[in-house]
Amino acid sequence: MLVNAKAMLDKAVAGHYAIGAFNTNNLEWCHAIMVAAEETQSPLIIQSSMGAAKYQTGYKTVKKLVNAMYKALDLTIPVALHLDHGTYEACLECIDAGFTSIMYDGSHEESFEINLKNTKDLVKRAHDKGISIECEVGSIGGEEDGVVGMGEVADPDECAAIAECGVDFLAAGIGNIHGVYPENWPGLQFDALAAIKAKTGDLPLVLHGGTGIPDDQIKKAVDLGVAKINVNTELQLVFADATEEYVKAGKIHEGKGFDPRKLLKPGYDAMIAKTKEKICLFGSDGKGWN
Ligand SMILES: [Zn+2]
């Protein structure tokens, strides 16, 4: 059975490691991410953005695919199905669709007060159904499904106010951005992270935009209380690169190389390898149910 993400993240904070939250886009993504997590015996958060869910015909389809595949693969690790960057309405839909975890991104609301009010409401609705909830303070830079954030650093007092609503884990901007990092990126702002940690105690913190952050900065962030790291772009890149290589090598017309099961295989294998690499970097390998 799919679980919520609270227990696994609380354990990650206590054990000083982080759990990868990998974005799924379709069957191949879901399959590759699950196989990698099972083979490394890591707890797993598999998440869908609103756009990726729409692409797959909706939250119910995503839930059924993830749930059915979890059973069909006979996984022995805890897996949570999480909504990534949901609006208030999307959160309600995912609660209804049977997601075990949601993220309400109120950082784009007109005011912090609206973010706070909606957070309180959604915490109650989620917890009534045993669903874990992530909220956000200070927008993450880069692009999220067409919404471009400038990457502000979260205000520690606002983080504390959101934490007091009873959220299970918190996304707080610390100079991280979605997508590929520009060459002049100054790096994560660890002073800001430490200030947020000081105000939020043992609440698991979430690092969005995990693609392209140097490994030493990832490790330092985990030491400072980051327990969930989102990985999206990186799997897209390795999938695209491996597929390009296959096509450019002329393999499409070698025998039945056009068969989608052959065409998509190099990208699928590349996603398994990358997911395993991330899990080992974050230190959640071997943590399973322990
Ligand atoms: Zn994000």
Is residue 21 within 8 Å of 229, Cβ to Cβ?
yes
Domains present along the chain, CATH in parentheses? 6-282 (3.20.20.70)
Among 74, 84, 105, 121, the active-site one is 84
Q: What pLDDT is attached to residue 182?
A: 81
Q: What pLDDT is attached to residue 186?
A: 85
Q: What pLDDT is attached to residue 34?
A: 98
Q: What is the secondary structure of 18-45 as a DSSP string?
A: -EEEEEP-SHHHHHHHHHHHHHHT--EE
What is the distance in A from the centroid of ligand 1 to the CA of 285? Answer: 23
Instruction: Spell out the residues 6+ positions from residue 221 whose beta carbon is closer than 8 angstroms to its own.
Output: 18, 174, 188, 190, 193, 207, 213, 229
For 250, phi then psi, to 5°, come to: 75, 20
Residue 207 pairs in a beta bridge with 229
Q: Positive or negative CA dihedral for 282, 285, 286, 287?
A: positive
Q: What is the secondary structure of 57-125 as a DSSP string?
A: T-HHHHHHHHHHHHHHTT--S-EEEEEESB-HHHHHHHHHHT-SEEEE-GGGSSSHHHHHHHHHHHHHH
What is the distance in A from the centroid of ligand 1 to the CA of 144? Answer: 7
Q: What pLDDT is attached to residue 178?
A: 87
To 10 degrees, the CA torsion angle through 62, 68, 71, 75?
-30
CA proximity to 284, closest of 43, 35, 38, 31: 43
What is the distance in A from the centroid of ligand 1 to the CA of 140? Answer: 7
- 121: annotated active-site residue: no
Q: What pLDDT is attached to residue 144?
A: 58
For 137, phi then psi, to 5°, come to: -125, 130
Is residue 17 within 8 Å of 283, Cβ to Cβ?
yes
What is the distance in A from the centroid of ligand 1 to the CA of 178? Answer: 6
What is the distance in A from the centroid of ligand 1 to the CA of 229? Answer: 9
Question: What residues sit around ligand 1, an ion, with C-beta below 5 angstroms?
Answer: 208
pTM of the model as a whole:
0.94
Question: Mean pLDDT of residues grouped by 10 in the chain (290 residues)?
Answer: 97 97 98 98 98 98 98 98 97 98 93 95 98 90 58 87 96 89 86 95 93 91 96 96 98 96 98 98 92
What is the distance in A from the centroid of ligand 1 to the CA of 49? Answer: 9
Q: What pLDDT is attached to residue 143?
A: 62
Q: Can you tell me the distance from the alpha carbon of 36 to that of 45, in angstroms, rounded to the nearest whole number?
A: 12
CB-based burial label for 259 (10 Å; 0-12, 13-18, 19+): exposed
Exposed e or buried b for every residue in 47-76, given b needs 16+ CB within 10 A? bbbbebbeebeebbebbebbbebbeeeebe
Q: What is the secondary structure of 221-232 as a DSSP string?
A: HHHTTEEEEEE-
Is residue 2 within 8 Å of 81, Cβ to Cβ?
yes
Pairing mode, strands 132-137 and 44-49: unpaired
